[in-house]
Amino acid sequence: MVTIDCQDLHYTPMNMAIREAVAKGEKEIVLQNICGQRFIADGLCADSDVRIIVEGVPGGDLAMFMSGPTVIVHGNADHAPGNTMDSGTVVIMGSSGDATAHSMRGGTVFIRDNIGYRGGIHMKQYQDKRPVLVVGGSSGPFLGEYMAGGLIIVLRLTEDENEQQPYGMMGLGSGIHGGKIVIRGTVSEFAPAIGAVMNPATSVDMDDIAPLIRAYCEWFGGDADAICNDSFTVVTPFSARPFASKYVWE
């Protein structure tokens, strides 16, 4: 294990130190005193047994373009963790900002609590490489906007059931044309946007998400069996070309 003190350290030498540690064969790298440094582990390609422990609050684009390692954040994260991530795992022991998992194309991102606007925007999938975003709490508007593939799971464990909070407010799955969004509980009929349709989860859907719910509970705690026994709603594309009527063809 190697520890890097990031107090007042610019993200460029910090990331150089991370790469040097990986090149030397280190399997666990602890980043102490993180306070807003951007681009942590961006573009890092390493074996899946490499772990980067972030102590503090990282800035934007955590693990962007990353392939392989696991990044664990002991705190909240800023915008777009997992942006265009290729493979690996990101675990955030708190909440994250807007555009979480933006354009993600592989790997898994676990958020213990909530995310901001446009989570999973432009997520994409190629053959069997399937990106996954698991959110323990809830999300802001436009979840899964222009989603082209992959899987988003929203467990809504942080909502106050007595207040019956509306889910996501607006724009759910706006322009979705691939992949699916699975949400625990019922969803307002006014939430889905153009291109999105809602249905109750089937046994096939539940078989698909159950291992990821168990993985979430392994990271953060919770009763996976009880969660899996709840009802879920599935949001999928109405069409692979949701805006076809907006184009002019000659």
Interatomic CA distance for residues 220 and 204, integer angstroms: 25
Count, residues in the chain: 250
Q: What are phi and psi of 228, to 5 degrees?
A: -65, -25
**How far apart, in Å, do the first and last CA atoms of the chain sit?**
63
Interatomic CA distance for residues 35 and 115, integer angstroms: 19
Domain ranges of the chain: 94-246
Output the CA–CA distances (angstroms, integers) from residue 159 to 83, 119, 129, 165, 233, in the order listed: 26, 17, 32, 7, 16
Look up the pTM and report it.
Answer: 0.94
Instruction: Please choose, from the candidates 168, 170, 128, the residue with its C-alpha nearest in 3D space to the C-alpha of residue 150.
Output: 128
Output the CA–CA distances (angstroms, integers) from residue 40 to 30, 43, 52, 71, 233, in the order listed: 12, 9, 9, 9, 34
Third-level CATH fold of 94-246? Pectate Lyase C-like (2.160.20)
Whether the CB-CB separation of 118 and 144 falls below 8 Å is answered with no
Whether the CB-CB separation of 3 and 21 falls below 8 Å is answered with no
pLDDT in tens, the chain (250 residues): 999 999 999 999 999 999 999 999 999 999 999 999 999 999 999 999 999 999 999 999 999 999 999 999 999 999 999 999 999 999 999 999 999 999 999 999 999 999 999 999 999 999 989 999 999 999 999 999 999 999 999 999 987 654 445 455 589 999 999 999 999 998 888 888 888 999 999 999 999 999 999 999 999 999 999 999 999 999 999 877 777 766 655 5
